[in-house]
Amino acid sequence: MRGATVRVTAVLPSTNDFVLRSLIQPTDKPIDSRTMRGPFAVLLAPLLALLALLSVVSALQENLAGIVDWHRALIGKPLASAPPQFVDIDGHRAVVAVTDKKVLAVLDENTGDVRWRQSIDTPFQYWVQDDGVLLLTKGGLNLYHLSTGALLWNNPVSVKNEPSSKYGWDVALADDYLMLLTDGARLTKIDRKTGTQQWTMVWPETGANRFKNIMIKDDKVVVLDITTAYVRSTLSFITLDLKTMGFSDFTQIGGTLEADGSEAFLVRTIDGEIAAVWTERGKVHSSVLQPEKGTVGAVRERAAGMGTKYIGLVDVGFRANGFMLGTLENDKAQVFVVDSRGARVVNEFPGSVGAAAPVYSGSCSGEAFQFAYVFYSFVTKSTQVQTFRLNAEGVEQSRSDVEVPFDMNSHGVITSVALSPQLTEQGEPTLLLSSSSGAIQLVPPKTVAWTREEGLADLAAAQFVDLGEPATEETLETLADESFPARIVRHIGLLKEAPGYVLRFIQRLTSTEIVAQTPPLQAGHLNRDQFGLQKLIVAVTKGGKVFALDSANGNALWTRNLGFFTKDGPELDVLWVGQTRNVSEAGNPQLAVVATRTKNGYSLTLGYHIDAFTGEVAGDVNEFNIPLGKFLCVGRAKSVFVTPFINCCTRNRVLGIVDADNVLSIFPKCKKVANALEAQAGEMFWTQHDERHGTTTLRGFAPGLQGDNQTFTTQEVWSRAFSNQAVLDIAPLTPSETASFGRALGDKSVLYKYMNPHLTVVTSVTESEDRVANGHIYVIDTVTGSTVYEALVPSVQDRQLEAAMVENWLVYAWLEAGGASGGWRLGSVELYEDAPTNSSAGRSSLATTPRIRAQTRTFILQTAVRGLGFTTSTYGVTAKDLVFITSAGQVAYMPRRLLDPRRPEGKPTKAEQEEMLIPYDSLLPTGGSSILSHVYPVLGLEHLVPAPSLLESSGLLLAYGTDLFCTRALQPSGTFDILGQGFNKLQLLVTLAALGVGVAVARPAVARKNLKEKWFN
């Protein structure tokens, strides 16, 4: 089930209490008919008509309607357990990465762009071999072509358990085959060229044995085994003969270790033998294995030194070359090489006093092995990198110690590092840093070549923010501190720009290219374009990193961290994001973010106010410039909603916060708001849901008595339990402007829409162990708790049921089981008041729910649906089309006319023809023209955010998930307020000029004629 959905409601006036404003204002002055006489009257009428058209000369032409879209291909945050790796592809360097968004990708090293990417199953580990990428996932073992990303073969080998210290996994490569260890007990032999599984065998899981590593020596597979005891575990090995397919007996190695066995490895020594290496009592132990004889060599010990001990072993990819890395208690690390004489220390990272968050990495270039130790120094307050190169015998070739420009405040801590095999001309390494906030940076020494903000692939919410007019914003900023003499001097200085202004004015009136491209926004000068098609997108990640993006191109204007990002994840968990002040109100627009901060097992809910134009966060900051936030409640808030009140100081809309004890508090605090809320407690309602004993209950609440510190008790008004059902989603009515509250029928009667802004749609399925279950759609009035509409959806497969509602229109889609007869279905429902067609549509939200007439139709959809949404416009005149995400991840739309539930079966009657209804056809067309994302290879889209523009016909849409996609090509009702491409602006202007000249020439003659008439009369 998705996160808690909160809907604040207040008692609104009746829906028929609206005012129709006339576009033409009457005048009290009489018109003298004598002024309309003569030849001037003949010219005046067309002149006034053409002057009325002059206002639309600056309108946007159809081919210049700002139909601009962009796509940002993202991959997600690289896995720390499978860090990125530099590779060489056709003489060009690139980076391979596996991410938490289930993506395998190759990035270009020079630009950071995606060369190719593939959507994969849950990844565990990968290996780069020759010209392929071998990837182990939950769905099996895959081989991808390194240059193109093409899947060469797939082996659906069983992987029941995620790789861990308990369930070991490993891959051992031979020339023609590979051995795969999974689940700590399953061995599989696979052909490297075809991926064919030659055989598999599973060790019985009844015993205490768990396999950890495997290595191939000649025709034998050596398996490291950990036998678990009560407190400690013992090490042993067995040998599988590939010729006879027989196992040898277990041979005890003689070492003991902690029960999880996480610090034991098989290592191929520099002599070509196989050795077991483990930590025991603060020392590194090793023993050479002799699989041919079933014996082991002597156990060798390596102490860390005086006053310290080893705390772990790290494999940076050189286990098959005889190198391992040991970490010590004093923030140091040692590199040792394993041979027949044991583990021998060949180099050491000195570390640093006050070091934190160390990360290790390695790379290989020919016979040179490079190691890196990256850490944050609290002494220098910077990120340091220590590296050295060794040859195959462990002899040092070079060493470096440099500072890298990593912004810990913006990106969090480093979680993994990829080390380039080649050094720069100065002998320094190139690093690829992956951070806890999701940022990926290529860092040549002392510079940042490029940054990928992969946190955008994990958004909690995104919103469009309107921009102000350029003249208004710049004039107010200039006049704020400008004196009158300074203003005169500035105006004189601006005279030199007068010719350019006139030229640009003429170009804007005559050219058809001037608005084809929208200039990018610049920080400090955030102004909208002429038609409001350019906005600011404020996106907040689930961990509390905020981005401001230009809606025209997706470029980031500013970023801000609201909390710390550690190796274990972010401290913040964002609960709610919303705009609390618009651009037309006092000051810059502001957004509020409510998040839960968990630290040392203790949780608090905090609130933040963010200036959408600058990224400044109200309130105090800590020593790392991280906002402290405003304390709201202890623990995790149950509900967050917007109240109808405005804070008297900041002019922000006040939020309501409900804590775990159902105590209501307001943010920001305000005595006037608290008193007003108490006075109007009976007129405000909200909903929240909880799950107890497997049953989800939706509850309606109202404020109670005011307590201390401007808090309130809450009163439960109603509740609705969904017994024996798994609730999938609780979504409020999509807010939108409404231009018409009724629908005119062909017989001149009117169907009045059931307009209730307090509706919530609940989707659920009947609890069942089968993959097929009945689905349920409920439309609930959140003021009274009554069910307005209910639908039973039979045979829903795999809980794939989506629903959304706008105005009186409900749309839901589901995957219907049934094999060949099944597939995706789409239901369209319109709700009308079941009253005389010419009666008033108005009513109170607290009145008894009227009888409702539901018009329904079901359609066959030829694609899967991952999310539903609707287009929107400024005044609600434009039709609201359905927007959805297809099974291929593309953004598509469906005209509302096709989904009209009143479409007649058979030939339409004359009245239905007057309504422009088309005959009903159950199969919905899904042609290429309905795909908004057209050629873009979008991936992982899940959410849709629409926004209106100043053009009533045009709107914007943002889709986000793994990728970001934004378009302003939404024109559901056509371009009724946009000039066509064939409209000749220049001809119109010349005609107006000629008429003006004609009027000027005719005026003296008309005046003389009128004067003569007065003399003769």
CA angle 963, 966, 967 (to 5 degrees): 145
Task: Tell whether the model's pLDDT for residue 216 goes beyond 90.
Answer: yes
**DSSP H stretches of helix in 350-429:** 408-411
Split at pLDDT 50, 70, 90, the class of 843 is low
Other Cβ atoms closer than 10 A to 507:
11
Using CA atoms, how far apart are residues 627 and 222, in angstroms rounded to an integer?
54
943 or 925, higher pLDDT: 943
Nearest to 850 by CA among 868, 876, 832: 832
**Amino acid 720: pLDDT:** 94
The pLDDT of 336-356, averaged and rounded, is: 81
Reported as a pLDDT band with limits 50, 70 and 90, residue 28 is very low
Helical pair 39-54 and 985-1016, crossing angle rounded to 10 deg: 150
Average pLDDT over residues 463-488: 73
Q: What is the mean pLDDT of the chain?
A: 85
pLDDT band at 464 (very low <50, low <70, confident <90, very high): very high
Q: What is the pLDDT of residue 752?
A: 93
The structure's pTM equals 0.86
Give the mean model confidence (pLDDT) for residues 3-9: 34
Q: Kindly tell me if the per-residue pLDDT of 27 is higher than 60.
A: no
Give the largest Cα separation in the chain, rounded.
Answer: 139
Q: What angle do CA 224, 225, 228 make, to 5 degrees?
A: 150
Question: Does residue 11 have a pLDDT over 80?
Answer: no
**CA pair distance 554, 520, nearest whole angstrom:** 9
For residues 364 and 357, give the distance between their C-alpha atoms in angstroms, rounded to a whole number. 24
**DSSP symbols for 935-969:** T-----EEEEEEEE-SSTT-EEEEEEESSEEEEEE
Confidence (pLDDT) at 729: 95
Measure the CA angle with vertex 163, ends 161 and 168; round to 5°: 100
Query: How large is the average pLDDT for residues 203-218?
Result: 82
Task: Give every CB contact of residue 988 below 8 A, 6+ residues apart in sequence.
Answer: 50, 53, 57
pLDDT of residue 275: 94
pLDDT band at 469 (very low <50, low <70, confident <90, very high): confident
Which residue type is seen at 755? M
Place of tokens 């939108």: 736
| Amino acid at position 995, single letter | L
* Structure token digits, residue 270: 């520099």
> In sequence order, what are the residues at sequence separation of 6 or more whose Cβ sits closer than 8 angstroms to the Cβ of residue 316?
323, 325, 360, 361, 362, 371
The answer to whether 219 touches 212, Cβ cutoff 8 Å, is: no
Residue 924 has pLDDT above 70, yes or no: yes
pLDDT tens profile 486-545:
888 888 887 887 888 788 777 766 655 544 557 788 887 788 887 888 999 999 999 999
**Beta carbons within 8 Å of 108's beta carbon, 6+ residues apart:** 92, 94, 114, 115
Q: Is 858 exposed, middle or buried (0-12, 13-18, 19+ CB in 10 A)?
A: middle
pLDDT score recorded for residue 891 = 94
Looking at the chain, the whole-number percentage of residues with pLDDT higher than 70 is: 87
| pLDDT, tens only, 871-917 | 999 999 999 999 999 988 899 999 999 999 999 998 999 988 988 89
The band of 6, judged by pLDDT with boundaries at 50, 70 and 90, is: very low
Residue 839 contacts residue 851 (beta carbons within 8 Å):
no
Burial 387-411 (b: 16+ CB within 10 A, else e): bbbbeeebeeeeebebebebebebb
- Residue 652 CA to residue 608 CA, distance in Å, equals 12
Query: Confidence class of residue 473 from pLDDT cuts 50, 70 and 90?
Result: low
> Is the distance from CB of 239 to CB of 294 less than 8 angstroms?
yes
Strand partners, 610: 591, 617
**pLDDT confidence tier of residue 693, bands split at 50, 70 and 90:** confident
pLDDT tops 70 at residue 707: yes
Lowest-confidence pick of 8-22, 53-67, 496-510, 905-919: 8-22
Does the pLDDT of residue 130 top 50, yes or no?
yes
**Least confident residue range of 348-357, 600-609, 669-678:** 348-357
- Name the pLDDT band for 709 (thresholds 50, 70, 90): confident
Q: Rg of the chain's alpha carbons, rounded to an integer?
A: 35
